[in-house]
């Protein structure tokens, strides 16, 4: 303790960062550590020789999930006071066109119904990718991030349209390097 100072003043000076204590006398005081609060569900390991509990940097998921983040753009596509179908119109548009395509394929009512039905299904997925890109909120059409949804819907839609255009007999589109893929799928 310095001359003319009270014990409380020395303790307060020692607690200040970089201050206090008699550094000339070789007294090196440890910085005051705040107690570490343990987050719920995280494992705790012992510190490096000082006995303090330090939260682990575990990459494990918690045993109980408290909340799930809504995908970007996953909000309502219409106002909250609108009826449910109006709030989910982007999803219902894609599902309606896909259902119509499946109905055309299933009924097989005209010569090229398989081709036209599958083209409609592919176009519905491409429409879903476009809606996901241009609308800020698409309701339940948002499943993952905006980029992932656009790529997934778009690639699947284009693949379905291309395969339906290349369907045998009498393909409407002939792509030489993909011809082997189509022939291997049709016995």
String of DSSP letters for 93-113: HHHHHHHHHHHHHHH--STTH
Do the beta carbons of residue 10 and residue 19 sit within 8 Å?
Answer: no
Sign of the torsion formed by the C-alpha atoms of 90, 95, 132 and 140: positive
pLDDT band at 21 (very low <50, low <70, confident <90, very high): very low
pLDDT band at 23 (very low <50, low <70, confident <90, very high): very low
- Which H or E run contains 86? helix 84-87
**CA–CA distances in Å: residue 131 to residues 91, 95, 97:** 9, 13, 14
Radius of gyration, alpha carbons of the chain: 33
pLDDT, residue 171, reads 85
pLDDT, residue 3, reads 53
Alpha carbon 101 to its chain's center: 29
Helical segments of 135-169, H only:
146-165
- Whole-structure pTM value: 0.59
Which tens digits make up the pLDDT trace of 156-180? 999 999 999 988 788 888 877 766 7
Which tens digits make up the pLDDT trace of 69-95? 777 777 778 887 888 888 899 999 999
Picking from 36, 54, 37, 57, the residue whose alpha carbon sits closest to that of residue 45 is: 54
């Amino acid at each position: 303790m310095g001359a003319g100072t009270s014990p409380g003043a020395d303790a307060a000076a020692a607690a200040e960062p970089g201050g206090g204590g008699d550094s000339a006398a070789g007294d090196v005081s440890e910085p005051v550590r705040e107690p570490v609060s343990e987050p719920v569900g995280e494992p705790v390991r012992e510190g490096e020789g000082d006995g303090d509990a330090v939260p682990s940097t575990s990459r494990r998921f918690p045993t109980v999930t408290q909340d799930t983040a809504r995908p970007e753009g996953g909000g309502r596509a219409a106002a909250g006071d609108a009826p449910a179908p109006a709030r989910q119109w982007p999803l219902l548009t894609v599902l309606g066109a896909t259902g119509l395509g499946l109905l055309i394929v299933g009924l097989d009512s005209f010569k090229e119904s398989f081709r036209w039905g599958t083209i409609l299904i592919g176009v519905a997925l491409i429409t879903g990718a476009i809606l996901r890109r241009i609308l800020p909120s698409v309701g339940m059409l948002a499943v993952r991030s905006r980029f992932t949804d656009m790529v997934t819907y778009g690639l699947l839609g284009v693949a379905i349209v291309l395969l339906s255009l290349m369907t045998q007999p009498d393909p409407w589109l002939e792509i030489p390097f993909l011809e082997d893929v189509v022939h291997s799928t049709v016995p």
